[in-house]
Amino acid sequence: MSGPEGPSITERDLTLLRLLGEGLSTLTIARRTEMSERTVRRRLRAICDELGVEAPISAVVWAVRKGLL
């Protein structure tokens, strides 16, 4: 949920975005993070919803612009 300071992104979320930004597939991200691919996809969708962006790559761009990645 968004708070008064803006969207709340966890370290786990940033890890997913970092790996996605490296060009890894959701399957590879799932293997590296010991999550299911379905969970990775669901988490990326939740991050997009939290940030108000359409695509996971847009979330990566957001994080880079905010200096988080």
Domain range list for the chain: 2-65
In terms of Cα–Cα distance, which of 22, 13, 24 is closest to 47? 13
Residue 57 C-alpha from the chain's centroid: 8
Q: Any idea which architecture 2-65 has in CATH? A: Orthogonal Bundle (1.10)
Measured over the CA atoms of residue 67, residue 69, residue 5 and residue 57, the dihedral's sign is: positive
Amino acid at 60: V
Confidence band for 52, pLDDT divided at 50, 70 and 90? very high
CA-to-CA distance for 41 and 23, rounded, in angstroms? 15
Q: Which residue has the higher pLDDT, 5 or 66?
A: 66
Mean pLDDT value across the chain: 92
Overall pTM surpassing 0.85 (yes/no):
yes
Interval 36-49: pLDDT, tens = 999 999 999 999 99
Mean pLDDT throughout 23-37?
Answer: 97
In terms of Cα–Cα distance, which of 65, 22, 32, 30 is closest to 9? 65
Q: Which residue has the higher pLDDT, 1 or 38?
A: 38
